[in-house]
Structure 1
Amino acid sequence: MKPSVSPAPAPANRPRRRPDLTLPMPQRDPSLAVPLPLPPPSSNSIPTPPSTIGQSLPTPSFSDLERIRRIGSGSGGTVYMVRHRTTGRIFALKVIYGNHEEAVRRQICREIEILRTADNPFVVRCHGMYDHAGEIQILLEFMDGGSLDGKKISSERFLAEVAHQILTGLAYLHRQKIVHRDIKPSNLLINAARQVKIADFGVSRILAQTMDPCNSSVGTIAYMSPERINTDLNHGIYDGYAGDIWSFGLSILEFYLGRFPFGEKLGRQGDWASLMCAICYSNPPEAPPTASREFRTFISCCLQKEPARRLTAAQLLQHSFITQLQHPPLQSSSSSSSNSSHP
């Protein structure tokens, strides 16, 4: 057997045969970057996203919340007034009915995380979510005046102020590419400072996607636009932003009239089929002749059967019904920690 011989090492100063050759560094294509998944939260609450600057306090621990009383309930869940034991701060806690599959729960978590990024004084703040004992529970800003459901507002000046606040919140949501889908008096809340805020934006969409597929009670359908109820209208095209404007206009007119605009017998206690026919095939409701010209045209700009003819929220803010009134500076919602949402 011949002994193995190691090759002689190359001289350290050996010249390169082709000094003109170079090896380029690989270039990274940023369009192909895949973000790494975030680690799961360490508790049963979702922490405040780092990108949300100054929006809200970190989500309180669920065990630190004390239920005070029930303040509302509906087809989607029940809402409780709760107190944070450590700070004494009051919140509203919405408990969503039903046990959901894991994939659905993850979707709900993603949706609610989007809601938490909303930061506008005319939109009810979402402080976080808990997955407790099999129930999805959402922590919301508490509004001590409750909803505007059933309220009659005969003063056009105050109604213009209410409309101004709702439109400002709605314009903000639409700029963020968020469609509410369920604007109605019970989702418009007021506090002691007479601030009006939009509630349940996005939550109604979550419920529609994850709960009863026939979630179309008369109370919800009553404020739907014609083209949303009858998909044959508007060539089958549904514009969610225009749908929100119809629902908004119907709600404002209801405040002025003190009743549902399509008639007392076609309200939430009325006949479901007749209500749908009235919305889809009758003429849109109008403000009465006793109202000002500005208010009548304002309502008309909202309640157009053709979605393309409805003004946007930003355009309605420039309507004379809104601009003719001198709006006093509104108190910032962040100035009071006790004013905080529900049904």
Structure 2
Amino acid sequence: MKEKNDTGGGGAYVRADQIDLKSLDEQLQKHLSRAWTMEKNKNRDQQEQQEAEAEAEAAAARVVGPTRRQEWEIDPSKLIVKGAIARGTFGTVHRGIYDGIDVAVKLLDWGEEGHRTDAEIASLRAAFTQEVAVWHKLDHPNVTKFIGATMGTSELNIQTDNGQVGMPSNVCCVVVEYCPGGALKSYLIKNRRKKLAFKVVVQLALDLARGLCYLHSQKIVHRDVKTENMLLDKTRTVKIADFGVARVEASNPHDMTGETGTLGYMAPEVLNGNPYNRKCDVYSFGICLWEIYCCDMPYPDLSFSEVTSAVVRQNLRPEIPRCCPSSLANVMKRCWDANPDKRPEMDEVVAMLEAVDTTKGGGMLPHDHPQGCLCFRRYRGP
């Protein structure tokens, strides 16, 4: 007897044992494959559309021109770099002309390609950016005027006797006002034998103190205050330069640690790796003040390790000459106090220096000056 193939309602039906499962599976696979292909084509079309839009934007940007310069960025076509006047670890300082003005150009050359790792170059570029970020906002008569900078360009030209030579594209530069008097340190070395008149000492010290007072008012800690980083203009005015390690002062002193600066000028807390603040600059100023007065180097007979140990553990400081007036000696002692909290703020230092009487002399006595006169105080130096 045959099974019915029609339902009572006239609809067809198939017995379970007559269903071709293999055929159904193939049909389902074809359906899924077709659906997946359609979705893939849809995504590809969207991606191609996005890429076309991006290319259109890039083309429009090329037509409009290059990205707008940063506010501190120079126009390389206006800069002529001349001969080198100083050399350092990561570059050189050159004379130059920018837009018709005499300038100093600090070129940072981080080595030929392949000579430094990507991490080293990234670190150096970050330091360069930090220096520019700090320097370009400063405006004070005792701070070297920042003119501009550029972050790597092949458009720089060095002028030589044989014409102009292009610079590698990885060279960055900072352009600042040119100070013809050179570094304060060089000026002091030139006067090492004859020393400086007392009024000149106080004036140089006041220039430096006022510059640091301004930096601290802007929440800037220089962190490498030394006579080598101070320049003299044509009127012998001191101008603070080199903000390579300067930082905005951290609100929490614990955020500023680590040895930064130059041995001989570094405060004990910095040498020790302890937290520090702007008072580290005050300590360094005290050493600079002694150096300006004496026209000499602190700790000439000690090695770096001996200086570090003695400054921190034995409270070593430069010896103040007997001929130094107490008004100036007191400023030195207060500035280089081992306790940062006992050091004065720079505005107080300015006030103390302004109160120093220079009318009666008091400058450092030359080495060949007869010393017997000190007992009677008949001569107090120039």
TM category (shorter chain) comes to 0.5 to 0.7
The structure with the greater share of residues assigned to helix is 2
Does 1:298 pair with 2:310? no
Show CA shifts across 1:96-134 (max 9, x none).
231765686367435413321101111011111112211
Q: Say which of 87, 90, 101 aligns to 1:73.
A: 87
Does 1:47 pair with 2:71? yes
Q: Which amino acid aligns with 2:144?
A: V
Residue 19 of structure 1: aligned partner: none
Residue 126 of structure 1: aligned partner: 146
Aligned identity (percent) is 26
Alignment of 1:53-132 (within 5 A): 60-84=74-98, 87-98=99-110, 101=121, 105=125, 108-109=128-129, 111-130=131-150, 131-132=152-153
Does 1:189 pair with 2:227? no
Residue 304 of structure 2: aligned partner: 272
Does 1:237 pair with 2:237? no
Q: Say which of 271, 295, 301 aligns to 1:258.
A: 295
Alignment of 1:148-297 (within 5 A): 148-150=184-186, 151=188, 152=191, 153-201=195-243, 203-205=244-246, 220-231=262-273, 236-239=274-277, 241-262=278-299, 264-266=300-302, 271-282=303-314, 283-297=316-330
Alignment of 1:17-32 (within 5 A): none
Show CA shifts across 1:139-164 (max 9, x none).
11110100011414532211111111
TM-score when normalising by structure 1: 0.67
Do the aligned residues in 1 keep the contact of 2:103 with 2:175 (CA within 8 Å)?
yes
| Cα distance change of structure 1 residues 72 and 45 upon mapping to structure 2, 3 Å threshold | farther
Q: Say which of 180, 188, 191 aligns to 1:144.
A: 180
SS at match of 1:220: coil
> Once superposed, what is the RMSD of the aligned Cα atoms?
2.9
Whole-Å Cα distance in 1 between the matches of residues 89 and 245 of structure 2?
Answer: 10
Whole-Å Cα distance in 1 between the matches of residues 239 and 149 of structure 2?
Answer: 20
Whole-Å Cα distance in 2 between the matches of residues 105 and 42 of structure 1?
Answer: 21
In structure 1, runs of 5+ residues without a counterpart are 1-38, 49-58, 207-214, 328-343
Do the aligned residues in 1 keep the contact of 2:205 with 2:292 (CA within 8 Å)?
no
Whole-Å Cα distance in 2 between the matches of residues 103 and 254 of structure 1?
Answer: 33
Whole-Å Cα distance in 2 between the matches of residues 102 and 300 of structure 1?
Answer: 41
Do the aligned residues in 2 keep the contact of 1:246 with 1:304 (CA within 8 Å)?
yes
1:246 Cα deviation after fit: 1.0
Do the aligned residues in 1 keep the contact of 2:127 with 2:245 (CA within 8 Å)?
no
Whole-Å Cα distance in 1 between the matches of residues 68 and 78 of structure 2?
Answer: 13
Q: Which amino acid aligns with 2:70?
A: I
Whole-Å Cα distance in 1 between the matches of residues 130 and 268 of structure 2?
Answer: 30
Whole-Å Cα distance in 2 between the matches of residues 298 and 220 of structure 1?
Answer: 21
Do the aligned residues in 2 keep the contact of 1:285 with 1:303 (CA within 8 Å)?
no
Show CA shifts across 1:246-273 (max 9, x none).
11111121122222222x223xxxx221
Residue 211 of structure 1: aligned partner: none
TM-score when normalising by structure 2: 0.61
Residue 309 of structure 1: aligned partner: 342
Residue 14 of structure 1: aligned partner: none
Residue 212 of structure 1: aligned partner: none
Do the aligned residues in 2 keep the contact of 1:167 with 1:316 (CA within 8 Å)?
yes
1:60 Cα deviation after fit: 4.3
Do the aligned residues in 2 keep the contact of 1:284 with 1:304 (CA within 8 Å)?
no
| Cα distance change of structure 1 residues 289 and 244 upon mapping to structure 2, 3 Å threshold | same
1:83 Cα deviation after fit: 1.2
Q: Which amino acid aligns with 2:348?
A: Q
Whole-Å Cα distance in 2 between the matches of residues 194 and 110 of structure 1?
Answer: 29
Q: Which has the higher contact order (CA 8 A, sep 6+)?
A: 1
| Cα distance change of structure 1 residues 73 and 294 upon mapping to structure 2, 3 Å threshold | same
